[in-house]
Amino acid sequence: MSDKKKGISTLAVHGGEPREKAAHAITTPIHQTSTYVFRDTAELCDYMDGKLDRMEYGRYGNPTTRAAELKLAALDHAEDALLFPSGMGAITTTIMALTKAGDHIILTSDSYRRTRQFCLQIMAKFGVETSIVDPRDYDALEKAITPKTKLLFSESPTNPYMNVIDLPKVVAIGKKHRIKIIIDSTFATPFNQTPLDYGVDLVLHSATKYLGGHNDLLGGVITGKKDFIDGIRKFQGILGGIPDPQAAYLLIRGLKTFPLRMARQNESALAIARYLNKHPKISMVYYPALEHHHNYEVAKAQMRGFGGVVSFEVKATLEQISKFIDNCKIPYIAPSLGGTESLIEQPSLMSFYELSTEERKAVGISDQLVRYAVGVEDTQDLIDDLEQALKVIPG
């Protein structure tokens, strides 16, 4: 049976790891080593001649890291995967590896703020230009393409409004104009969508979120075709931003239960979205499984579940909403998402604190917005907690 036919939980437990491991242990060990030794000069020469598949030096690979990569590749239906010390490490290294001075990138407008800053501020210094396009406007997207365009980079679903990119549509645009399509699939995970199956060139995840899943590690990964990943791996070996085997071990451990957690997070987020949607103090809920969501049809067609993040607008002032947040007893106030603990935040005060209300409005962030990143607690407990916390909102 090919790995592609196995279920995602089987792949999460067994994928990428050899059946027999060091010292007959059931787990993949943490190979805490900076370098790898050669038995003799003949072995060194065989390795240099490409006759031996083995490790050479820590910056170019580590067996623990490699096991995590192969597991992630299996989950994403990819030929290969490359691990990074953070999601941003994956994004910045990949974009730098695939562009040169004079090239042009298209980025969708509600992409992760640091990705936008990286393209607009840092890549600009190296002569790479970026156009920002609304992810809902495919005509504008196609019009933004110039002969210099190399990449289209988008999240799907996006943060915090859960815009879902029509994958067949962007892949067709990419093929027509010979540009590479990269999808940051962090909010969906391989449990809910596998964009490579649609012909996307590279998929990227912040493994810090659902994949690690326990709010205890940072990591990032890109998945895709082997020769593509090989090129970026060489680039990573020069830049030096490589993951630590400890974090790779924690990621492997987290991935074993990832499908179980994700199923619960999908289920709880859907229940919370439906609960909030009926609540008189809530004016809007952004969750792609709700029929009023502007990408409901696209999401239903290409996603198997809709993730653990629910964004919503409360009919109250910024200050009143802070009281509601402070009154929640289960979710912690923190950035991030996807871990076992539920997290809640006001984007206006978390990611956009230094902006004025007007400036936030200009980038599409309302002061009424709350982002709830659902953990794996009991669904009813989370809803009961929201019910009591919302009592502080007048009306």
Which residue ranges make up the site for ligand PLP (CB under 6 A)? 86-88, 112, 155, 159, 184, 186-187, 206, 208-209, 218, 220
Least distance from ligand PLP to the Cβ atom of residue 168, Å? 21
User: What is the Cα–Cα distance from 363 to 357, expressed in whole angstroms?
Assistant: 10
In DSSP notation, 211-254 reads TT-SSS---EEEEE-HHHHHHHHHHHHHH-----HHHHHHHHHH
Phi, psi of 285 (to 5 degrees): -125, 130
| Of 163 and 282, CB closest to ligand PLP | 163
Close Cβ partners of 189 (under 8 Å, ≥ 6 residues apart): 205, 209, 210, 211, 258, 262, 307, 338
Instruction: Judge whether 38 and 47 are in contact, CB under 8 Å.
Output: yes
| Of 133 and 218, CB closest to ligand PLP | 218
Least distance from ligand PLP to the Cβ atom of residue 114, Å? 6
User: What is the Cα–Cα distance from 183 to 167, expressed in whole angstroms?
Assistant: 9
Least distance from ligand PLP to the Cβ atom of residue 8, Å? 21
| Of 154 and 348, CB closest to ligand PLP | 154
Least distance from ligand PLP to the Cβ atom of residue 111, Å? 8
| Of 316 and 342, CB closest to ligand PLP | 342
Tell me which DSSP letter residue 57 carries.
B
State which H helix or E strand residue 9 sits in.
helix 8-14
For 31, 99, 322, the CA distances from 52, given in Å and listed in that order, are: 19, 32, 59
| Of 193 and 208, CB closest to ligand PLP | 208
Question: E strands along 70-179, which residues?
Answer: 80-84, 104-108, 129-133, 149-155
Least distance from ligand PLP to the Cβ atom of residue 87, Å? 2
User: What is the Cα–Cα distance from 5 to 7, expressed in whole angstroms?
Assistant: 7
Instruction: Judge whether 105 and 95 are in contact, CB under 8 Å.
Output: yes
| Of 247 and 285, CB closest to ligand PLP | 247
| Of 155 and 201, CB closest to ligand PLP | 155
Show the 3-state SS of 261-318. HHHHHHHHHHHHHHHHHCCCCEEEEECCCCCCCCCHHHHHHHCCCCCCEEEEEECCCH
Structure tokens of 21? 């491991």
Determine the residue with CB nearest ligand PLP.
Answer: 87
Least distance from ligand PLP to the Cβ atom of residue 184, Å? 5
| Of 251 and 325, CB closest to ligand PLP | 251
**How many CB atoms are closer than 10 A to CB 1?**
6
Least distance from ligand PLP to the Cβ atom of residue 220, Å? 5
Phi, psi of 20 (to 5 degrees): -105, 125
Determine the distance from the C-alpha atom of residue 96 to the mean position of all C-alpha atoms in its chain, rounded to a whole number.
18
Structure tokens of 158? 């996006």
| Of 12 and 217, CB closest to ligand PLP | 217
